[in-house]
């Protein structure tokens, strides 16, 4: 049961988004990085559109074939394809869902360690109506749905921009993509956002409980 969405972020950014009623979309390319951080902001596989697993890999050096798979035990190779530069702008939200009302939420602490504030959107229907209308007025094509997580060491085949490595599964991401050049950030107006959302300290999220009246 989908109860709402959460946008985690810095206090200044979240408060500004709430007060001025907009949603911030970052360039998707800014999240593809080999840099590792414990909070999952960067992903070296972000934007991959194909992964192929292999057991054989041969390098030709000065006309001499060097079969790596015969040299090393349990050899494994992985081939990845992605678009460079990566277009699109992205807004990532956290899915607040539960099998039943009146229960606390089990949220991984990595979601709020670097994001002290959270914008909770509790009227999803109105949110989608407003967002879609704004994007249509801006004449920006878009797509949105929950992210599908995969095991990168085993997956073999085509990927979409709604796929992410299973390492990030704790993020429970709902992804909104804008078909842009991805060259700069965008602010999409959400008039009436204050009527369908609240701002809280991120650490309060696990203690939230929803009820139906």
Token pair of 55, please?
A: 């057991």
Other Cβ atoms less than 10 A from the Cβ of 159: the count is 20
**Residue % of the chain over a pLDDT of 90:** 52
111: three-class secondary structure by DSSP? helix
Token pair of 135, please?
A: 């994007």
- Of 54-58, 78-82, 128-132, least confident by mean pLDDT is 54-58
Whether residue 77 has pLDDT greater than 70: yes
Any idea where the domains of the chain sit in the sequence? 2-48+85-207, 49-81
pLDDT of residue 105: 67
**Residue 40's pLDDT band (boundaries 50, 70, 90)?**
low
Q: Are strands 22-27 and 64-67 parallel, antiparallel or unpaired?
A: unpaired
Mind listing the pLDDT tens digit for each residue in 189-204?
A: 999 999 999 999 998 8
* DSSP state at residue 209: -
């Amino acid at each position: 049961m989908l109860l709402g969405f959460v946008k985690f972020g810095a206090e200044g950014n979240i408060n500004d988004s709430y007060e001025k009623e907009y949603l911030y979309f970052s360039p998707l390319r800014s999240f593809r990085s080999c840099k590792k951080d414990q909070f999952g902001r960067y992903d070296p596989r972000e934007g991959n559109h194909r992964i192929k697993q292999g057991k054989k890999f041969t390098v030709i050096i000065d006309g001499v074939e060097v079969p790596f798979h015969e040299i090393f035990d349990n050899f494994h190779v992985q081939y990845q394809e992605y678009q460079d530069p990566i277009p699109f702008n992205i807004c990532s939200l956290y899915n607040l869902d539960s099998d039943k009302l009146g229960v606390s939420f089990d949220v991984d602490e990595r979601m709020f360690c670097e994001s002290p504030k959270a914008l909770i959107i509790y009227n999803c229907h109105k949110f989608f109506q407003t967002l879609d209308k704004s994007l249509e007025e801006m004449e920006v094509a878009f797509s949105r749905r929950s992210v599908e997580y995969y095991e990168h060491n085993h997956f073999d085949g085509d990927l979409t921009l709604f796929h992410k490595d299973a390492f990030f599964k704790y993020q429970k991401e709902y992804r909104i993509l804008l078909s842009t050049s991805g060259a700069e950030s965008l602010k999409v107006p959400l008039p009436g956002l204050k009527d369908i959302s609240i701002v809280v300290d991120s650490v309060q999220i696990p203690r939230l409980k929803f009820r139906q009246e």
